[in-house]
Amino acid sequence: MTSPSSANAAPVTRMRDRFAAKVSAVLPVFNEAAILEQLTAQLVSELGRNSREFEIIYVNDGSSDGSRELLDSIASRVKQVVVVHLARNFGHQPALHAGLDHVQGDVVITMDSDLQDDPRAISEFLSEWECGSDVVYARRFGRKESLPKRILFYSFYRVLNAIATTRIPQDAGNFGLMDIRVVRALQSLPERERYFPGLRNWTGFRQTGIPVERAARHDNQPRVSLAGLFRLAKTAVFSFSSFPLTFFYVIAALSALVCAGAIGFVLFHKLFTGLATPGWTSTIITGSFFGALNALGISILGEYVIRIFDEVRRRPVYVVDVVRQQSAAPGNSMSVPESQALQLLETIQHLQSVAGHSEESAQNSSVRNPRETYAESNVGR
């Protein structure tokens, strides 16, 4: 029988231990060769102080400035570094999700690779995670961009939050921490067009925001253009709001009221004043106005159709060229596709030996080394 004291006891929150967990950091990279060495040194220092075991996953999103070769060099020297080379430039959000698909840790840090996200905030993220938060995101302040861009960012977050069906924290970007349960939930989502801050918040779980100052870029040359930011904003609006369609419901209702008023005005003058209603100018203006509205409505509907078509085609969000990391032999690297092929050959031969071979065939034949089979199959490539 439960005692009264135990029945009324408050539930105990299980504390997490950062030093008992493996921490994974995921960073998309596009033409950041100038700062990769400095960034890696800062991450190794910060993660080494805050965890016993960690990994740094760089996702090379089709860089053309020597970042690929430099990342391979770093991976050969730093055992905690894993480099995922994408087959081409797929964009920041697909690259970020490619990194999430390769994590091995219990808790995941996501951040940009331009040093605008301060690695020193990782310690605060882990403290909140230890206290029970499943998601810890950075609330950016003190942005160093130009005034017009700061106004655009400020307006975007507030407008999006006003029209979105899912609440999205204001001034929250990709920089943050997620428990592995949240990462697995994100991996289960099938959609191609992804807005990471929105999807992260959509998953639910316990989420906490921490103010983090947004640093300036080291070269003052943003890698994402205004057109790219506009496309990302469009993805956010179409993914988390039905406002574009609802807007035209409102326009249709207002148009009906305007038309009813115009008809009443014409009939009043026709029946009671006998004045002729001027026609050409008002007709042309009204026709042009509603023609423009129709074109805008069709374009919005077309945007939805295009997105549906992209989802139906089910093309992969990204394609991996090769994954590099330090192997058992010093100075070498192994590509994940090759290692997976070896594991597959070993698994097939193991299943064959267990499932179907008789004792006589086992005595008269020897199982070949799968790595020799793989080597022979690659002769002449």
Q: What is the pLDDT of residues 280-331, one digit of tens each?
A: 666 766 777 777 777 777 777 877 887 787 777 888 888 999 888 876 444 4
3-class secondary structure, 82: strand
Q: What is the rounded CA–CA span in Å between residue 308 and residue 310?
A: 5
pLDDT at position 354 is 47
pLDDT at 371 over 70: no
pLDDT at position 158 is 76
Regarding predicted confidence, which is higher, 229 or 56?
56
Residue with tokens 């050969």: 76
- Mean pLDDT along residues 58-62: 93
pLDDT at position 282 is 66
Q: What is the rounded CA–CA span in Å between residue 321 and residue 371?
A: 22
User: Contact 186/113 with Cβ under 8 angstroms?
Assistant: no
Residues 6+ apart with CB under 8 A from 255: 290, 293
Q: What is the rounded CA–CA span in Å between residue 252 and residue 1?
A: 66
Q: Which of 207-221, 282-296, 340-354 has the weakest average pLDDT?
A: 340-354
48: left (phi over 0), alpha (psi -120 to 50) or beta: alpha
Regarding predicted confidence, which is higher, 136 or 192?
136
Sheet holding 207-213, edge to edge: 207-213, 135-141, 172-179, 107-110, 22-29, 53-60, 81-86, 320-325
**pLDDT class of 276 with cuts at 50, 70, 90:** low
pLDDT at position 278 is 63
pLDDT at 168 over 70: yes
Beta bridge partners, 141, equal 213
Regarding predicted confidence, which is higher, 378 or 55?
55
pLDDT at position 219 is 63
pLDDT at position 60 is 94
pLDDT at position 44 is 92
pLDDT at position 368 is 46
**pLDDT class of 107 with cuts at 50, 70, 90:** very high
- Mean pLDDT along residues 20-28: 89
Q: Which of 15-24, 64-73, 287-296 has the weakest average pLDDT?
A: 287-296
The phi and psi torsions of 115 (rounded to 5 degrees) equal 65, 10
The phi and psi torsions of 209 (rounded to 5 degrees) equal -105, 140
Residues 6+ apart with CB under 8 A from 258: none
pLDDT at position 301 is 80
Task: Give Dmax (Cα) for the chain.
Answer: 112
Residues 6+ apart with CB under 8 A from 292: none
pLDDT at position 335 is 45
Instruction: Please give the share of the chain, as a percent, with pLDDT higher than 70.
Output: 74
The CA-atom distances, in angstroms, between 268 and each of 235, 257, 276, 338 are: 48, 16, 11, 83
Calculate Rg over the CA atoms of the chain.
29
Q: Between the ranges 123-137, 319-333, 360-374, where is the mean pLDDT highest?
A: 123-137
The phi and psi torsions of 107 (rounded to 5 degrees) equal -140, 140
**pLDDT class of 27 with cuts at 50, 70, 90:** very high
Q: What is the rounded CA–CA span in Å between residue 118 and residue 25?
A: 13
Q: What is the rounded CA–CA span in Å between residue 273 and residue 204?
A: 64
Regarding predicted confidence, which is higher, 181 or 19?
181
pLDDT at position 102 is 92
End-to-end CA distance of the chain: 73
Residues of the chain by 3-state class (helix, strand, coil), percent to 5: 50, 15, 35
User: Contact 8/38 with Cβ under 8 angstroms?
Assistant: no
In 185-331 the beta strands, taken as DSSP E runs, fall at 207-213, 320-325
User: Contact 172/197 with Cβ under 8 angstroms?
Assistant: yes
Q: Which of 80-84, 222-226, 228-232 has the weakest average pLDDT?
A: 222-226
pLDDT at position 93 is 87
Tokens for 73, please give them: 């060099």
pLDDT at position 10 is 41
3-class secondary structure, 324: strand
The phi and psi torsions of 147 (rounded to 5 degrees) equal -60, -45
pLDDT at position 68 is 92
pLDDT at position 99 is 92
- Residue 290, H or E segment: helix 280-313
- Mean pLDDT along residues 192-218: 81
3-class secondary structure, 356: coil
